[in-house]
Amino acid sequence: MYKEMFNYQKLDLQILKLKKENKETPYTKVMADAISAVKVLQEKTEKLGQDAEKQIENFNKLTASLESIQNEIEKLEQELDIPSEEIEKKVKDYSNQLNRIQSNITILKANIDKINKMFEDAKHKVFEAKNKHKQAKAKQDEIMGESEAKINALKQEMEAMEKNLDKALLKKYKDCKADNILPVYVMLTQNNACGGCMQELATNELNKLKQDKTLVCEHCRRIIIDRE
């Protein structure tokens, strides 16, 4: 009676193992790393875009200031009634401002070029990460397909076995499995311990097991089967 139940459980454990292996392939790690990399790079490109907008805004302001000063110089050159000393002073002041603005514009251009390069590098890395994810997913899908075929075959075998299993034992099994207890049925060890959690049974528990042939472990809630 219990032998058939253990054989049934063995198939279920094989299914559990296959599902676990599906989640822990080298390709699942590559996919997870690629998704993580894309997320980081997307955040980086978003920040680069914001930085570029600020730099361009500052560049436009400096360009406007440059044009304004150049216009002032042109007007100054047309003013004939202003003393030459005053003109010379203003021209010198405007010239200094122009130099500062042109210097800042040069720096801004360099910053914008740097941001553009970083943006292109980030785009290239995103493309590489997505390509790695695509290739890994294709391999993972192939593994999943093969594994799913094995799982379906095991499920069909279990369904066929259920017809000949003790209904009460099968119900207990399914109830425990629904509570995430698997394996459900375990043998009493040679050291008189639960075959699931390896906790040694007390004398009164052993006596009850000998009498009833089964015992629910108070530690892991698995159903212990007597060896005899």
Look at residue 137 in the predicted model and tell me its pLDDT: 93
Q: Give the confidence band of 109 by pLDDT, cuts at 50, 70, 90.
A: confident
Domains and CATH numbers, the chain: 11-163 (1.10.287.620), 171-225 (no CATH)
- Residue 37, both tokens: 């990399």
Q: How confident is the model at residue 123 (pLDDT cuts 50, 70, 90)?
A: confident
Measured distance CA(154)–CA(10) in Å, rounded? 10
Q: How far is CA 20 from CA 66, 134, 144, 174, in A?
A: 67, 22, 11, 20
pLDDT at 162 over 70: yes
For the record, the structure tokens of 200 come out as: 């040694």
pTM, to two decimals: 0.64
**pLDDT at res. 134:** 95
Which amino acid, one-letter code, is at 186? V
Torsion of CA 81, 87, 88, 91, to 10 degrees: -150
Name the DSSP class of 187. Answer: E
Given this model, what pLDDT does residue 49 score? 83
Q: Averaged over 199-212, what is the pLDDT? A: 93
Q: Is 215 helix (H, G, I), strand (E, B) or coil?
A: strand
Edge-to-edge strands, sheet with 223-225: 185-187, 223-225, 214-216
Burial of 139 (0-12, 13-18, 19+ CB in 10 A): middle
So what's the pLDDT on residue 84?
62
- Provide the pLDDT confidence category of residue 73 given band limits of 50, 70 and 90: confident
**Using CA atoms, how far apart are residues 200 and 44, in angstroms rounded to an integer?**
56
> Average pLDDT, whole number, for the chain?
88
If one compares 155 and 52, the residue with the highest pLDDT of the two is 155
Question: What SS3 state is found at 193?
Answer: strand
Q: Which run of H or E residues covers position 25? A: none
Burial 111-132 (b: 16+ CB within 10 A, else e): bbeebeebbeebeebbeebeeb
52 band by pLDDT with thresholds 50, 70 and 90? confident
Mean pLDDT of 120-135: 92
pLDDT at 113 over 80: yes
Instruction: State the Cα–Cα distance between residues 51 and 57, nearest whole angstrom.
Output: 10
The tokens of 14 are what? 């094989």
Cβ(184)–Cβ(176) below 8 Å:
yes
* pLDDT for res 47: 86
Q: What is the pLDDT of residue 79?
A: 64
More confident residue, 52 or 79: 52
